[in-house]
Amino acid sequence: GAVVSQHPSRVICKSGTSVKIECRSLDFQATTMFWYRQFPKQSLMLMATSNEGSKATYEQGVEKDKFLINHASLTLSTLTVTSAHPEDSSFYICSARKGAETQYFGPGTRLLVL
């Protein structure tokens, strides 16, 4: 199998607070995980590539100090949205790469910042 979990599935927070989202590969090891953001009726936009044991690689336009990524083990990556603002409200999805090519996606985390 190739199962990826995310926690929490849904979170509501106040503006200015930080939120941590966990992504786990449950039945395989993933040296590389990816974090995406998806706004309503739009496609997935890659935010960053998370590499186990090294710094994440951020896509152009994504603030690395605002979106902190930690890939502490071969089965866990975390995304922390720091000082969240209403415009950060979105659907955050992680994926883990199994083998050389295919990415398997987590169920997503819906973030609402009030």
Output 34 or 67, the one with its CB closest to another protein: 34
x/- map, 68-97, another protein, by CB under 8 A:
-----------------------x-x-x-x
Is 106 or 113 the residue whose CB approaches another protein more closely? 106
**CA–CA separation, 41 and 31 (whole Å):** 30
Q: Which of 32, 80, 82, 89 binds another protein (CB under 8 A)?
A: 32
Q: Output the CA–CA distances (angstroms, integers) from residue 52 to 33, 63, 70, in the order listed.
A: 8, 20, 8
Which residues of this chain interact with another protein, rule CB under 8 A? Answer: 2, 32, 34, 42-46, 49, 51, 57, 91, 93, 95, 97, 100-108, 110
